[in-house]
């Protein structure tokens, strides 16, 4: 894995080195045109010339128009020259680019820099990741559910509309789609859509309560369909506490069995934990449980008071508790043989501070001290809502984040790419200069930016300070005083 990260870092450094030059940027715009090429697996792929040029470098393209072959050879010369300058390993990068999902991600960065120049954080022509709330149907009744998931909604996308959406995301160049919900695995269209995503080279992932994957046969069918990453939610080390939080008896047992099956089959995975006051004291026990199963990654999700979460808003960590928690998991990661991260954008700042600037968590997928981490951090830049990531609701509404359910358009009415390009809400989220109060002047705003979903949930303002940050303690106290005055909480 470390070799893969170093190769990715070298590649991203090449992007900035090469495309930082305005002349080369202008030349690279000729690569934005979409064409079709035949690949080594005999598939015809319609993508940007940038994507095909990356595939040429990886020795994956078999047949393309003559002009594309010329551009591919020119691109290879440029890549080899740039990699030599920065000391990158050419063969490792070639191997990396054989993965179509990674090619998509790198092509997005290329296109973003070609279109917008080098920006901090980087603007992209399409998101790296879509979290698709596949259905509102769910077999659990979780207290914190951002969807208030229960029964399917009457206006959910049909199978035909879902397949058309997959085509739209493919044409937009989206690298990864995570199916969420509700519970996506209980929907009859789940396997078909996983296969449709995989067939197009899109990284197919799922966020699940694990119930269906406790059945090894269903898990194997999902993997065969093309599922590449599975995130299973476990909110307590103790069955009775998890089941009470999730609303259904036996759900802990199913989740743990699912993780055991996933680990045995070697699928990329994570245990997902929503951190609240209910389980803050259990962090060690939860990590012990993950280790006992063989889990390689634990992702602690930021609690955001939306959906049913509004009903348990008092479970939200205060800034001091959140700071303690983030520092604790950073320490624990140093001790344990697994990756432990948080979706709180402040975790990037905490890792920098605790490592004296040596390491950073640019995303909730890893923490590192090498070239890749710093390179990715500049591209990702903390909260990615509406910037490198977006959500899609069961009815086709496009939203900045599943925790920020503010519709900005619907794919039944406009294409996803058009919504992504023109949404005023997305434009606000992409401009860190608009952030207010300490979030706007924070020295860490380019690696954090605060959680925009939490800012909106508490203040109904996309640019407001994130009240969960230790630097915004006065806003947390102000909110608490208002709730005390209204009798919502007691001292």
Asked whether residue 275 falls in the same domain as residue 369, the answer is yes
Q: Read off the pLDDT band of 112 (50, 70, 90).
A: confident
User: What number is the average pLDDT over the span 223-248?
Assistant: 98
CA 420 to chain centre: 16
Q: Is the peptide bond before 100 cis (omega within 30 degrees of 0)?
A: no
Asked whether residue 353 falls in the same domain as residue 385, the answer is yes
- Of 372, 400, 421, the domain-final residue: 421
CA distance 231 to 298: 9
User: What number is the average pLDDT over the span 350-355?
Assistant: 89
Number of independent structural domains in the chain: 2
For residue 123, being part of any structural domain is answered with: no
For residue 456, being part of any structural domain is answered with: no
Nearest residue to 114 (alpha-carbon basis) of 125, 126, 129, 127: 125
Nearest residue to 456 (alpha-carbon basis) of 440, 474, 468: 468
For residue 277, being part of any structural domain is answered with: yes
CA distance 461 to 97: 40
Tokens 């690696």, residue located: 447
For residue 429, being part of any structural domain is answered with: no
Asked whether residue 307 falls in the same domain as residue 160, the answer is yes
CA distance 378 to 365: 15
Range of the domain at 53: 4-116
pLDDT digits (tens, 9 = 90+) for 437-448: 999 999 999 889
- Of 116, 149, 178, the domain-final residue: 116
Q: Give the pLDDT confidence score for residue 490 in this predicted structure.
A: 55
pLDDT at 161 over 70: yes
Asked whether residue 82 falls in the same domain as residue 156, the answer is no
pLDDT digits (tens, 9 = 90+) for 363-389: 555 555 554 455 556 566 789 999 999
Asked whether residue 279 falls in the same domain as residue 378, the answer is yes
- Cα-Cα-Cα-Cα torsion 235, 237, 241, 245, nearest 10 degrees, comes to 10
CA-based torsion, 164, 389, 400, 391: positive or negative: positive
Q: Is the peptide bond before 142 cis (omega within 30 degrees of 0)?
A: no
Asked whether residue 203 falls in the same domain as residue 313, the answer is yes
Q: Give the pLDDT confidence score for residue 6 in this predicted structure.
A: 52
For residue 491, being part of any structural domain is answered with: no
User: What number is the average pLDDT over the span 52-78?
Assistant: 90
For residue 460, being part of any structural domain is answered with: no
Beta strands at 268-274 and 297-301: parallel, antiparallel or unpaired: parallel
Tokens 């999730």, residue located: 246
For residue 437, being part of any structural domain is answered with: no
Q: Give the pLDDT confidence score for residue 285 in this predicted structure.
A: 98
Asked whether residue 320 falls in the same domain as residue 250, the answer is yes
Asked whether residue 8 falls in the same domain as residue 150, the answer is no
Tokens 């900035």, residue located: 16
Q: Read off the pLDDT band of 337 (50, 70, 90).
A: confident
Nearest residue to 92 (alpha-carbon basis) of 64, 57, 122, 60: 57
Q: Give the pLDDT confidence score for residue 216 in this predicted structure.
A: 98
| Higher-confidence position of 25 and 46 | 46
Nearest residue to 402 (alpha-carbon basis) of 129, 121, 211: 129
Residues 6+ apart with CB under 8 A from 48: 31, 32, 33, 34, 107, 111, 173
For residue 402, being part of any structural domain is answered with: yes
Asked whether residue 250 falls in the same domain as residue 350, the answer is yes
Q: Give the pLDDT confidence score for residue 62 in this predicted structure.
A: 79
CA distance 307 to 401: 13
Nearest residue to 290 (alpha-carbon basis) of 309, 265, 276, 269: 269
Comparing 1-5, 61-65, 276-280, which segment has the lowest mean pLDDT?
1-5
- Of 421, 436, 466, the domain-final residue: 421
Asked whether residue 99 falls in the same domain as residue 212, the answer is no
- Helices 251-265, 239-246: inter-axial angle, 10-degree rounding: 110
**Residue 276: phi, psi to the nearest 5?**
-140, 180
Q: Give the pLDDT confidence score for residue 356 in this predicted structure.
A: 77
CATH of the domain at 313: 3.20.20.70
Helices (H), 20-99: 22-28, 49-57, 66-86, 90-96
Asked whether residue 179 falls in the same domain as residue 143, the answer is yes
Tokens 């493919």, residue located: 170
pLDDT digits (tens, 9 = 90+) for 196-221: 999 999 999 999 999 999 999 999 99
Which of the residue ranges 44-58, 105-119, 281-295 has the most confident prediction, judged by mean pLDDT?
A: 281-295
Asked whether residue 352 falls in the same domain as residue 308, the answer is yes
409: left (phi over 0), alpha (psi -120 to 50) or beta: left
Residues 6+ apart with CB under 8 A from 103: 51, 54, 55, 58, 97, 201
Q: Read off the pLDDT band of 421 (50, 70, 90).
A: very high
CA 363 to chain centre: 8
**Residue 271: phi, psi to the nearest 5?**
-90, 125
């Amino acid at each position: 894995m470390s070799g893969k990260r170093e190769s990715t870092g070298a590649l991203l450094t090449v992007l900035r080195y090469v495309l930082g030059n305005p002349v080369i940027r202008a030349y690279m715009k000729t690569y934005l045109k979409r064409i079709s090429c035949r690949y080594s697996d005999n598939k015809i792929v319609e993508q940007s010339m940038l994507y095909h040029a990356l595939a040429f470098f990886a020795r994956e393209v078999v047949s393309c128009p003559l002009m594309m072959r010329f551009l591919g050879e020119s691109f290879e010369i440029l890549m080899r020259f740039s990699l030599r300058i920065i000391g990158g390993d050419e063969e490792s990068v070639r191997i990396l680019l054989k993965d179509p999902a990674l090619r998509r991600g790198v092509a997005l960065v290329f296109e973003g820099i070609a279109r917008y120049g080098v920006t901090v954080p980087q603007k992209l022509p399409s998101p790296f990741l879509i979290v698709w709330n596949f259905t509102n149907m769910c077999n659990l009744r979780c207290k914190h559910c951002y969807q208030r998931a229960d029964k399917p909604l009457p206006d959910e996308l049909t199978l035909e509309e879902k397949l058309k959406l997959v085509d739209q995301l493919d044409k937009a160049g989206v690298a990864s789609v995570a199916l969420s919900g509700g519970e996506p695995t209980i929907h009859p269209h789940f396997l078909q859509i996983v296969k449709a995503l995989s067939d197009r080279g899109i990284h197919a992932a799922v966020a699940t309560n694990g119930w269906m994957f406790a059945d090894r046969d269903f898990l194997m069918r999902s993997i065969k369909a093309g599922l590449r990453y599975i995130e299973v939610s476990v909110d307590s080390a103790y069955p009775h506490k998890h089941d009470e939080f999730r609303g259904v008896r036996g759900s802990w047992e199913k989740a743990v069995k699912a993780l055991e099956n996933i680990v045995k089959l070697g699928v990329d995975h994570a245990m997902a934990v929503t951190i609240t006051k209910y389980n803050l004291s259990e962090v060690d026990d939860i990590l012990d449980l993950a280790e006992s199963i063989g889990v390689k990654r634990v992702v602690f999700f930021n609690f955001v008071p939306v959906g049913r979460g509004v009903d348990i808003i008092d479970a939200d960590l205060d800034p001091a508790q959140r700071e303690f928690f983030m520092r604790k998991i950073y320490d624990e990661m140093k001790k344990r043989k697994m990756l432990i991260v948080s979706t709180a954008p402040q975790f990037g700042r905490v890792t920098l501070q605790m490592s004296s600037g040596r390491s950073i968590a640019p995303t909730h997928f890893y923490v590192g001290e090498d070239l890749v981490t710093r390179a990715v951090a500049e591209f990702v830049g903390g909260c990615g809502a509406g910037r490198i990531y977006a959500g899609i609701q069961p009815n086709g509404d496009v939203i900045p984040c599943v925790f920020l359910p503010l519709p900005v358009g619907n794919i039944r009415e406009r294409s996803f790419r058009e919504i992504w390009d023109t949404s005023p809400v997305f434009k606000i989220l992409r401009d860190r200069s608009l952030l207010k109060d300490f979030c706007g002047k924070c020295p860490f705003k380019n690696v954090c930016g605060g959680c925009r979903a939490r800012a909106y949930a508490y203040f109904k303002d996309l640019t407001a300070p994130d009240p969960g940050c230790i630097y915004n303690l006065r806003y947390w106290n102000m909110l608490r005083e208002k709730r005390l005055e209204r009798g919502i909480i007691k001292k």
